[in-house]
Every structure is written in C-alpha cells, then in structure tokens.
C-alpha cells in the first residue's frame, strides 16, 4: 500500500516524502514540475536511499491520474499540488481557479472511482482572512482577500461536503502557518522562481548576494517593533505533522481541521536579527510602505494538533535560520 503525494516534488511535499519514508510508508510522487525541478528526485534518493516511484504530469489530466491508480495500490493521498503565489493569483485568477479547484475536483473524482477515500489536504492560514484575531483556532470563520486564498476556502468546503455526503471518506485539512527552513542535509529546500515573494527566501538571497537589500513592508503596525508578526514553522516539523495527521486520518471518518504552527509569532525585524546572529551574515534593509493585503499579526493556536495528533513543533527560530542559510549557501541557484 502506498501514499500518493500530488505536488510531491515541491517544497513541502519533498520534505514530507522524507519523513513518510523514515516512518515506514511507501510513497509515490506525481508532479508536473510547474514549480519544481526533477533534480529534487535525485536529492530525495540521496537522503532516503530509495528511488521513489514518480509520475510526471498534471492532476488536471484525468486519464493520466486514472492510470496511476490502476497501476498502484494507493491507500491515501496527500494533496499538495497547487499554485501558491498570492500576487500572481490576483493578476491571473483563472489560472489559479483552474489548477487548484479543477485539479482538486479531478483528483477527488478519480479517488472516488478507485474507492480511495482518505485524503490529507494542504490548506493555509490564509483562510482565516483579515478579521480574525490571533491566536487563531480552527472553528473561526474563514474568508479570503485574493483568488489564491479563495481557492483554499473553496477547496476546504468541497472536501468537507464530500466527506458529509459519503461517510466512507476521511478528510484532513491542514492549515499551515509560515513554513521556512530546510532539511538538515542542505540537499532540499525552498527554491522560488524569480524574485521571492516570501520573507525568508528574500533574506537568504540577500545574504548570498543575489539581491541587494531586504524591503521591510511597514514598520507602523501595532506590534512590538512595528513590523508584521507571523508564526514561522520549520519545514521538518511541518512534514512530521503530515505523518501524524495521515496516521490519524487512516483510522478516521468524516472531516477534521488542524492548524500546523508553533503558536508563537516573530516580527520581521526579530527574524532579520535572528538570521544575522545565527549565521554571522549582515542583512541590509530599508523600510518600505505596507504591502497590500498584509495584516499586523498572525499566529496559530496549535493546541488541537497537539491533543488529537500528538504533534508539536520542536525546532527553534535559530534552527530555522541556520537550516535556511545552509540550504541557500550550498545551493545559491536552487536546484539549477
């Protein structure tokens, strides 16, 4: 029996593949490399000592997906495959609705046809919108401010409805906060295309000399130092959360939702200082106006995952800063 990872060559999927294999699961990856590189598979082989079965193609292609389910004995799916750039989703909404929503519906139809009814889904803290107050708990109302966020809100609803209509389904929605860092080996990590949108890849690219300086988007928020506060979580902690969520999912029915965060927020300036102190590299920065759509503070109440999954983030901010830098300094051009 195998676990199928859609988007398993991506940042979160590749780290989860490592932790699943370490925990004794057999893994199959499907990815179209729209936001990743085939080199990831070589790196995964070096880390795990295994040739992970791989299918190259899009989950929008039903015939292709059907074949994967015919050829393998699949027990459950962890569904990472999606587009995730907020700004691009505002410019090209149809690209996002098609890939994320139609991709998910196609996957669910194929799973249904093959009677594979266990799914763990990559959701996001973005579904808490801009009005809820941190710490964020799972039962708060969801909303969105951009097409990417709407795709997550809609996919959550679709999955909840599928589980309601057919009690054989087991659906786990994982709401990730801000995943950063990389595997300790420095062999896999986050490799964004072009100029990074997210804070930590931007910092590491300044550190490695690819970018001149960090722009800090606003220092007038109502936070300890005026800069935005987020719940940064080490990617390996996040990946381990998937293993525990999958185990729980395999013995459950219906749907359930878990925040995967540390429960603690750090400001942009705290992060910059922690990166400099841990890695002895200076990060020049300038203060710029606030970025549209940003909120002051966002962090999880992570107690439900602790109680029901037995999961808790273990790694420190220093671990996150050190591992992010090891990955970037060993791979200045990502997987290229």
Told to check if 126 binds ligand WQD by CB under 6 A, we report: yes
Q: Nearest-CB residue to ligand NAD? A: 10
Told to check if 149 binds ligand NAD by CB under 6 A, we report: no
Residue 36 binding target from ligand NAD, ligand WQD, none, CB below 5 to 8 Å by type: ligand NAD
Q: How many helices (H) and strands (E) does the chain have?
A: 12, 14
| CA–CA distance, 32 with 103 (Å, rounded to integer) | 12
Strand partners, 75: none
Residue 9 binding target from ligand WQD, ligand NAD, none, CB below 5 to 8 Å by type: ligand NAD
CB 169 within 8 A of CB 253: yes
State which of residues 31, 156, 256, 278 lies at the interface with ligand NAD (CB under 6 A).
Answer: 31
CB 32 within 8 A of CB 9: no
CB 150 within 8 A of CB 314: no
Told to check if 302 binds ligand WQD by CB under 6 A, we report: no
State which of residues 17, 44, 86, 171 lies at the interface with ligand WQD (CB under 6 A).
Answer: 86
Which CB atom, from 48 or from 143, has the smaller least distance to ligand WQD?
Answer: 143
Told to check if 323 binds ligand NAD by CB under 6 A, we report: no
Residues 6+ apart with CB under 8 A from 176: 12, 122, 123, 124, 125, 233, 238, 260, 261
Q: Which residues of 315-327 are buried (b: 16+ CB within 10 A; e: fewer)?
A: bebebbbbbbbbb
Burial of 95 (0-12, 13-18, 19+ CB in 10 A): middle
Told to check if 268 binds ligand WQD by CB under 6 A, we report: yes
User: Shortest CA distance to 233 belongs to which of 102, 158, 324, 331?
Assistant: 324
CB 159 within 8 A of CB 171: yes
Catalytic residues: 148
Residues in region 100-119 near ligand NAD by CB under 6 A: 103
| Residue range at the interface with ligand WQD (CB under 6 A); choices 183-191, 193-201, 240-248, 276-284 | 193-201
State which of residues 33, 54, 217, 285 lies at the interface with ligand NAD (CB under 6 A).
Answer: 33
β-bridge pairing 170-176 and 266-267: unpaired
- Taking the complex as a whole, the smallest distance from the CB of residue 282 to ligand NAD amounts, in Å, to 26
Residue 255 binding target from ligand NAD, ligand WQD, none, CB below 5 to 8 Å by type: none
Which CB atom, from 129 or from 287, has the smaller least distance to ligand NAD?
Answer: 129
State which of residues 4, 35, 89, 173 lies at the interface with ligand NAD (CB under 6 A).
Answer: 35
Q: Nearest-CB residue to ligand WQD? A: 228
Looking at residue 101, the DSSP 8-state letter turns out to be I
- Taking the complex as a whole, the smallest distance from the CB of residue 54 to ligand WQD amounts, in Å, to 24
Residues in region 184-243 near ligand NAD by CB under 6 A: none
Burial of 91 (0-12, 13-18, 19+ CB in 10 A): exposed
| Residue range at the interface with ligand WQD (CB under 6 A); choices 30-38, 90-98, 130-138, 209-217 | 209-217
Which residues of the shown chain bind ligand NAD in the complex (CB under 6 A)? 6-7, 9-13, 30-36, 58-60, 80-82, 84, 99, 103, 122, 124, 176, 179
């Amino acid at each position: 029996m195998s676990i199928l990872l859609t988007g398993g060559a991506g940042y979160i999927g590749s780290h989860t593949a490592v932790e699943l294999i370490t925990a004794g699961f057999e893994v199959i990856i499907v990815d179209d490399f729209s936001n990743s590189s085939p080199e990831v598979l070589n790196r995964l082989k070096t880390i795990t000592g295994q040739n992970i079965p791989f299918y190259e193609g899009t989950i929008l292609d039903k015939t292709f997906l059907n074949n994967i389910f015919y050829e393998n004995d699949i027990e459950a799916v962890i569904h990472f495959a999606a587009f995730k750039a907020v700004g691009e989703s505002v410019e090209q909404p149809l690209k996002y609705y098609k890939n994320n929503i139609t991709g998910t519906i196609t996957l669910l139809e194929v799973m249904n046809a093959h009677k594979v009814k266990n799914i763990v889904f990559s959701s996001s803290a973005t579904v808490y919108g801009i009005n809820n107050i941190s710490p964020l708990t799972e039962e708060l109302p969801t909303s969105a401010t951009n097409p990417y966020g709407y795709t997550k809100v809609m996919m959550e609803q679709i999955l909840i409805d599928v589980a309601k209509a057919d009690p054989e389904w087991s659906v786990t929605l994982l709401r990730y906060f801000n995943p950063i860092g990389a595997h300790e080996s420095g062999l896999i990590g986050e490799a964004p295309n072009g100029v990074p949108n997210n804070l930590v890849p931007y910092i590491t690219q300044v550190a490695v000399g690819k970018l001149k300086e960090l722009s800090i988007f606003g220092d007038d928020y109502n936070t300890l130092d005026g800069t935005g506060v987020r719940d940064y979580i080490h990617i390996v902690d996040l990946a381990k959360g998937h293993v525990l969520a999958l185990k729980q999912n395999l013995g459950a029915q219906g749907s359930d939702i878990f925040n995967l965060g540390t429960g603690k927020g750090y400001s942009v300036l705290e992060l910059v200082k922690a990166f400099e102190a841990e890695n002895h590299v200076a990060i020049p920065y300038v203060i710029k106006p606030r970025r549209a759509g940003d909120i002051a503070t966002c962090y999880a109440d992570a107690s439900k995952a602790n109680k029901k999954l037995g999961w808790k983030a273990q790694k420190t901010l220093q671990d996150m800063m050190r591992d992010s830098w090891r990955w970037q300094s060993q791979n200045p051009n990502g997987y290229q």
